[in-house]
Amino acid sequence: MSAPNSAATSPRGLIKLPVAVSIYKIPLLVLGTVFAGWQLQVHFQLLSRHTGVVAATVSLSLLVCLMLRWRSRLRRIHAQLEHYASRMGVPLPVESRGDPLARLESRLQRFSEEVIAETSALEYQAQHDGLTSLPNRSLLLERLEAALHQARTQYRSLALFIMDLDRFKEVNDTLGHHVGDRLLQQVGRRLESVLGDMDTVARLGGDEFALLLPGADRQRSQAVCRRILAVMERPIRIDEIRLRAGISIGVVLYPDHGADATLLMRTADIAMYEAKRKQQGYAFYRPSDDIQAISRLGLSADLGDAVANNELKLEYQPMVDVKTGRIFCAEALVRWCHPTIGQIPPEDFIPLAEQTGAIRPLTLWVIDRALEQVKHWANAGLHLCISINMSVRCLQDRGLPAQVQALVDRHHVDPANVVLEITESAIMSDPMTARRVMRRLSNIGFHLSIDDFGTGYSSLAYLKQLPVDEIKIDKSFVSQMDQDENDAVIVRATIDLAHNLGMKVVAEGVESTDVWDLLEMLGCDTAQGYLIRPPLAGKALADWISSSEWHREYWTPSPALETETV
Ligand code: C2E
Ligand code: CA
Ligand code: CA
């Protein structure tokens, strides 16, 4: 961090100069007048004694006039100084008796000291972040430019990191901005702890930080990334709360990934986005990421037409009752087959749809098709309930419950057979509206489930205030719970607590029989995962169930089995 710069542009010199000039002029003028009178008398002998007296009187009067003028100018300077000082809120020493010049000098000195301090403070503020006291974007750019210049002339490399906290918005929304602010301060301190003398860590705004490592190559950057991830692993304590602030780091190197500051900042941003998307902690920039970022922009335009062009389809993943082994439900998962790119995973296009507003027609399309499929299955004797993902945007849309009701009415499906999955983060992004929309959906008769439970910061006790029937423990806790004791503890505690609060528990991401056995032992209600079946098309699911050991006893195929899929 740079110390406040005591700038050399002191206003002291500027103010002192005219005063000094006027002061030295006075004795010169007096001397000049007396000298002129004396010369007239001595050399030309034209003047009488009387004239001499007149000349002396004139000189004296002139002197008095000059003195008065001098005093009045001094007073004006004092007044001006007081005016500037009061505008700047600088307290000046009171006017006292004594040498007027010394007084002026002491007041000027005080004023200029204050101005210098104020200027330095302003300069510091303009270049630092108020919350964390770290350099801000403008100082980072200044240092990046300087480091680039040095790297060019000395043929050296440098690294630039852009870092973003994971799920910071949830901390702010759930625990309040004061906790969010303190989290940012502590993150700032932890990032500083991994710095070398020449490095700069800056806060770019919000939960975004940057790190400049002059002279760093790929190897050193990697080591620093690992150190950052390690220091962020330790929980951060804020009063009684312990938080784990995950971080995603995008890394770019000069000269490999760009030659100027603007390009490096942009590519580091893209790399950070990739690190976040892949949840891999850190990522070095790759030119292919850029192509993806550009194509993402193009995709958002195509997404608007995807429904109309029949490019979307649904797959269904079975959900099994752990106690009975019965498949009683299926989760509808949307797929997009882009005409030129091919299959695009929902994790890539759902966030896009949320940003562009395409999520509303997309969600209504999913619900419409899923209900149609439920009806097909039922007509064929397969009675499954359906679980449908609701995006964060849907919960902020007060008109949605009525539209969803219209769809169940149209398909004659009992809303009690429809589960709407809502992610924790969706509720937390606008709790008031989310709560209102959830109440209306629950009043219609839909079951509500909290998806990806455990990845946010909400507590079960908070969720209990909402009309929630079930929680789905996120697959990141489930898949490895037979090998990771921490995961097993979390799953066990969640199941116990949810049951105590009268909620059912679904475990997603069940990939092995060991995990299944553990879940059965812990009393988990429902399991979903590749062990049972990856998602598949509606007809394929019906065919599979009819031949599957998981379900055969509950399967009552109707003679006129419709094999049409939606
Ligand atoms: P999700 O709701 O958590 O869905 C479960 C995801 O986990 C699905 O990925 C599924 O294929 C995958 N999965 C299932 N079993 C296993 C397993 O045993 N192990 C592992 N590792 N993964 C498993 P998918 O289909 O790619 O969906 C990803 C996400 O996209 C979904 O996560 C959901 O958040 C979103 N999504 C999918 N369809 C829709 C939709 O119609 N509307 C909205 N709003 N979001 C959707
Ligand atoms: Ca889901
Ligand atoms: Ca999930």
In a domain, 132, yes or no: no
Residue 23 structure tokens: 């002061």
In a domain, 301, yes or no: no
Assess whether 182 and 141 both reside in one domain. yes
Say how far apart CA 316 and CA 328 lie, in whole Å.
Answer: 12
| Residue pLDDT, tens place only, 120-135 | 888 888 899 999 999 9
> For the domain that residue 148 is a member of, what is the CATH number?
3.30.70.270
Separation of CA 48 and ligand 2 centre (Å)? 118
3-state helix, strand, coil in the chain (%, to 5): 55, 15, 25
Say how far apart CA 73 and CA 93 lie, in whole Å.
Answer: 19
Assess whether 535 and 406 both reside in one domain. yes
Per-residue pLDDT at 240: 78
The residue type of 458 is: S
Query: Which residue lies with its CA nearest to atom 22 of ligand 1?
Result: 509
Per-residue pLDDT at 42: 67
**Lowest-pLDDT range of 24-28, 84-88, 372-376, 544-548:** 24-28
Assess whether 114 and 143 both reside in one domain. no
In a domain, 40, yes or no: yes
Per-residue pLDDT at 97: 66
Assess whether 43 and 155 both reside in one domain. no
Say how far apart CA 168 and CA 371 lie, in whole Å.
Answer: 36
Per-residue pLDDT at 374: 97
| Residue pLDDT, tens place only, 91-105 | 777 766 667 777 788
Say how far apart CA 293 and CA 438 lie, in whole Å.
Answer: 34
Assess whether 220 and 362 both reside in one domain. no
Query: Which residue lies with its CA nearest to atom 45 of ligand 1?
Result: 389
Separation of CA 423 and ligand 3 centre (Å)? 8
- Evaluate if residue 191 carries a pLDDT over 60: yes
What is the dihedral sign for C-alpha 534, 546, 328, 448?
positive
The residue type of 113 is: E
Contact by Cβ (8 Å): 279, 294 = no
Assess whether 531 and 486 both reside in one domain. yes
Q: Which of 267, 285, 303 is the last residue of a domain?
A: 285
Ligand 1 atom closest to residue 366's alpha carbon, by position in its atom list:
41
Residue 460 structure tokens: 């079960």
Note down the domain range covering 433: 313-548
> Is residue 199 lining ligand 1, measured as CB closer than 6 Å?
no
In a domain, 308, yes or no: no
Assess whether 268 and 326 both reside in one domain. no
> Is residue 454 lining ligand 1, measured as CB closer than 6 Å?
no
* DSSP state letter for 128: B
Average of per-residue pLDDT values in the chain: 84
In a domain, 291, yes or no: no
Contact by Cβ (8 Å): 295, 275 = no
Q: How many structural domains comprise the chain?
A: 3
Assess whether 167 and 274 both reside in one domain. yes
Residue 214 structure tokens: 């002059």
Per-residue pLDDT at 556: 44
The residue type of 266 is: R
Q: Is 531 left (phi over 0), alpha (psi -120 to 50) or beta?
A: alpha
pLDDT band at 41 (very low <50, low <70, confident <90, very high): low
Phi then psi for 197, rounded to 5 degrees? Answer: -60, -35
Q: Would you say the pTM of this structure is higher than 0.95?
A: no
The residue type of 158 is: L
- 264 closest CA partner among 367, 382, 147, 398: 147
Strand-pair partners of 201: 211
Per-residue pLDDT at 296: 64
Three-class HEC string of 218-251: HHHHHHHHHHHHHHHHCCEEECCEEECCCEEEEE
Ligand 1 atom closest to residue 511's alpha carbon, by position in its atom list:
18
Ligand 1 atom closest to residue 510's alpha carbon, by position in its atom list:
18
Please tell me which residue, 500 or 85, carries the higher pLDDT value. Answer: 500
- Evaluate if residue 326 carries a pLDDT over 80: yes
Most confident among 29-43, 49-63, 90-104, 408-422 (mean pLDDT): 408-422
Angstrom distances, CA of residue 440 to CA of 79, 321, 347, 379, 400: 70, 28, 28, 29, 10
Assess whether 249 and 321 both reside in one domain. no
